[in-house]
Structures are given as C-alpha cells and as structure tokens.
Amino acid sequence: MTTRYRVEYALKTHRRDQLIEWIKGLLAVPFVLYSQPTGIFETNGFSITRMSEEAHRRYAEIMRDVEFMIDDHIAHQAESISVPSKLKLLVPPVGTFFTRLPLEAAFKFQDRKRFISSRRFVSPSFNDVRLILNSAQIMAVTTYGTLQLATFDGDVTLYDDGESLEPSSPVIPRMIDLMRKNVKIGIVTAAGYTTADRYYARLHGLLNEIAQSTALTPQQRQNIVIMGGEANYLFEFCETSPHLLAPVPRERWLTAEMASWSDTSIDALLDVAETALRDSIKTLSLPATLMRKDRAVGIIPSDPNVRIPRESLEETVLVVQKILELSVGGRDFNNKVVPFCAFNGGRDVFVDIGDKSWGVSVCQKWFGGGEGKMIRPEETLHVGDQFLSAGSNDFKARSVATTAWIASPAETVELLDELADFMGKKIS
Ligand SMILES: [Mg+2]
C-alpha cells in the first residue's frame, strides 16, 4: 500500500467536519471525568468493568441526546421552519439529513466492536465518531426504508489509490451479493476515461465476476453502471462487449437540469480553467502538460515517471477553484448554470464539468424506472473517502444521498458486511 500523508495547508484549519468534532467534544467530557488512568498502578477498589460500564452508559446517553437533536433538526427541515434548529445553532455547517440516525444503537454496536468505553488513555476519537455515524446510517437505510441504490467512489474506496479491482479483492463478492439482492450499484469515480477499455483495466476483477457469476440472473447483471469523470461518461454492463462495458449516449441519461448546460457555457468555463492551469504550470514550474477533453481540463505529468509534489497539486486545485469562482466567467455560471469540480487526483489535477452529486443523480434516474422517476435520496447510499480534503468530491454527494465516509478499502468491506447483516435482520 502506498503511504498516504496529509498535506498541511491553510485550508485544513478551517475545513473540519464540524458535526464529528462537536460529538467528539461532547464525549470527551465523561471521558475526562470518569476514565481511570491511575487504575494501571492503583489496584485497590478499582474495577475496570465498573469503569467501562459507567463510561458506556454515559456515552450512550450523549449519543441518544444527539439523536433526538437530529430528530428535531429533521422536523425543522420538513416543516421548512424559518428559525434554525438547536443543532443548526450549535453546529452551523450541518446540512440536510435524509433519514433519522439511530446513534445510540450505532454507538452500542461500535462499542462492542471497538471497546471505546474500556479505554482509559485514549478518548473517543474522530474515527470512532465517524464509524458510529456510518453504522447509524447503515441501520437507517435498512430499517426506515429499503436500500435501492449503493454508489461507490473508486480510489481508496474500492481499491488503493491508483490501483485496480483485482479478482482477489474481498469487496467483489460483497458487491455481487448486493446486486443479487436487487440493490443497484453505481461506481461514481473521478477517473474520466472516455473508452470502456480503461475502465475495464481498473474494474476487471468485478466485471469478470459479474459476467461469470451463477448467482446473478441476466436481469441482475444490469444492476450496475459506471459513471466516470464525476458525471460525464456513463457505461452499462454488456456481456458481449470485449471490455464488458458499453458506453451509453448522453441523451439517454442526462438529467433535465444537466441537459440545460449549453456547450458554449461548458467551453467558456473550461477556457477559464485552462488559462488558470497554464498559469499554475508556469508559476510553480510544474513538470506537467495540459490535457483538454470535451468535458474536462487538467494537467498530467509530462513524464509518467515524474511525480508532481503533492503540495503543488493541492496549490493548483485551490488556485484554479478560486479563479473559477471569482472570474467573470465563474461568477456568471455562479456554480448553478454549469457546476464544476476541481480536484487533486493524486498524480494530476482536473477540473470536471459537474460533480458527484450529479453523478449520483444520474444513477438515481437510470435505475429509477423511467418517466423521470428517480430513486430517492433516503434510498441511496454513497460510499467514499473524500469528505474533507481539497475538492472533496464525495462530499458533494451528500446533497442527493445518504453517505458513509470510509478511510480504506478494508473499511468498505467491513461496512458492506454491516450492511448485509442489517439487511438480513430486516428481512427476518
Ligand atoms: Mg476516492
């Protein structure tokens, strides 16, 4: 596995997931007051069992209180009450919730797995809270409704950064299992290839298994699409194609809103982005060349063996993003007429037309059953790793779907096991 390190940059200090940080802060109070670190050298009268039971009870109470606060926030959303909810006052960036979140139950579930309450030195962490929220979301989409669509990011979510889905990947049987249960699957990736062979190279393990699996009916083999370039290239499964994928012409899948983005506006936006990228190459002396596509523009290393420093990539993303937002063109589009997404792809930087919220919407429409019907946000789960860093393209999916934030392909596997478990419980 490649080493991943976070670049420290000005943005990081104010880009935090405030809901997670806030919950972590609430859990820190009982931890500070009741954890007993001295228990390791003072044995008289100390019981680790009692301590962990007490911590468990208090953490669970807090999670229940937060759960009720989210319920109140959802009530405000539903009635479009103009005064903000208490949660909104406490955590201003908090967005829309498509389902309630059973946080107390999710905490108890994760505490059994992670023994959060038994720790005496390490307080409930960001990752603990992130995983509790994921479990709560999985419980919600299987309990209050029926999951219809699961969308997945590619890099870091299904496979390690820059790698591909090999036949041995443990995520493959779990995805097949979802398809077998008639859950639709969309792979919504930033990788903006225009031809099937490139996606086959990245996803061959899964595609071959879909073609061969005896668990799937011919109908169920169509329960998957690949959405590339965030929201720009759609491929459906096709047994007779050499790469098991067939491109779907845009007029068959563009949503009404996307169809209204004119070619002129798209070109104008890409022109502004192209100029900004060329400037970055000059300013930072990047060993990079420009690449323009019909729906994207980016920079790639001029020599495939050379890596552009991570810091330069991030700098370029932030500069281009700001220029697009502030330029006459950018303001004209105001991110409403033609939305865009600037992101660091690990080795390159790209500006794509649209973003993952549009990509997930396309999947919701594709599998919605026709006549403009869409699978609803509360019936959709998007799984991804980019919810915080520059460009954070999975974050955008939050406006159209429930989400789970994972940190590695191994976490995706664990999440899918949880999902299968809860789906099974619901059926019985
Ligand atoms: Mg990713």
DSSP3 helix / strand / coil % (the chain, rounded to 5): 50, 15, 35
Of the candidates 153, 355, 385, 394, the residue annotated as catalytic is 153
pLDDT at 397: 92
Q: pLDDT of 237-278, one tens digit each?
A: 999 999 999 999 999 999 988 998 888 889 999 999 999 999
pLDDT at 335: 47
> In which band, very low, low, confident or very high, does the pLDDT at 5 lie, cut at 50, 70 and 90?
low
Q: pLDDT of 155-198, one tens digit each?
A: 999 999 889 999 999 999 999 999 999 999 999 999 889 999 99
pLDDT at 334: 46
**Residue 161 vs residue 74, higher pLDDT:** 74
d(C-alpha 421, C-alpha 428), whole Å: 11
Coil, strand or helix: which one is 349? strand
| Cα 336 to ligand 1 centre (Å) | 24
**Phi, psi of 224, rounded to the nearest 5 degrees:** -140, 140
Rounded to 5°, angle at Cα 368 from 139 and 177: 50
Q: Are 163 and 142 in contact (CB under 8 A)?
A: no
Of the candidates 111, 128, 155, 352, the residue annotated as catalytic is 155
What mean pLDDT, rounded, does the chain reach? 90
Beta bridge partners of 107: none
Rounded to 5°, angle at Cα 402 from 342 and 325: 25
Going through 306-405 in order, the beta strands assigned E by DSSP cover 340-344, 349-353, 380-384, 402-405
pLDDT of residue 11 exceeding 60? no
Give whichever of 101-110, 255-264, 419-428 has the largest mean pLDDT. Answer: 101-110
**Residue 336 vs residue 93, higher pLDDT:** 93
Q: Is 14 exposed, middle or buried (0-12, 13-18, 19+ CB in 10 A)?
A: exposed
pLDDT of residue 391 exceeding 80? no
pLDDT at 337: 72
DSSP 118: G
| Cα 259 to ligand 1 centre (Å) | 27
Domains of the chain, start order: 2-143 (no CATH), 146-428 (3.40.50.1000)
| Cα 404 to ligand 1 centre (Å) | 12
% of the chain surpassing 90 pLDDT = 74
Amino acid at 197: D
| Cα 5 to ligand 1 centre (Å) | 15
Mention every residue, 6+ apart, whose C-beta is less than 8 A from residue 320.
273, 276, 277, 280, 342, 349, 351
pLDDT at 16: 73
| Cα 407 to ligand 1 centre (Å) | 9
Rounded to 5°, angle at Cα 321 from 320 and 324: 85
Instruction: Report which of 67, 169, 151 is spatially closest to residue 367, judged by C-alpha positions.
Output: 151
Q: Are 353 and 295 in contact (CB under 8 A)?
A: yes
Q: pLDDT of 14-26, one tens digit each?
A: 457 899 999 999 9
153 is catalytic: yes
| Cα 71 to ligand 1 centre (Å) | 30
pLDDT at 390: 54
- What count of Cα atoms within 13 Å lies in the side-chain half-sphere of residue 129? 20
| Cα 45 to ligand 1 centre (Å) | 49
Q: What's the pTM?
A: 0.90
pLDDT at 372: 79
pLDDT of residue 326 exceeding 90? no
Q: How many CB atoms lie within 10 A of CB 87?
A: 21
**Residue 94 vs residue 16, higher pLDDT:** 94
Q: Are 405 and 130 in contact (CB under 8 A)?
A: yes
- Euclidean distance between the first and the last CA atom of the chain, given in angstroms as a whole number: 39
155 is catalytic: yes
pLDDT at 6: 54
Q: What is the DSSP string of 6-47?
A: PPP-HHHHH---HHHHHHHHHHHHHHHHH--GGGGT--TT--
In Å, what is the CA distance from 193 to each residue of 163, 365, 380, 391? 15, 22, 25, 19
pLDDT of residue 12 exceeding 60? no
| Cα 417 to ligand 1 centre (Å) | 20
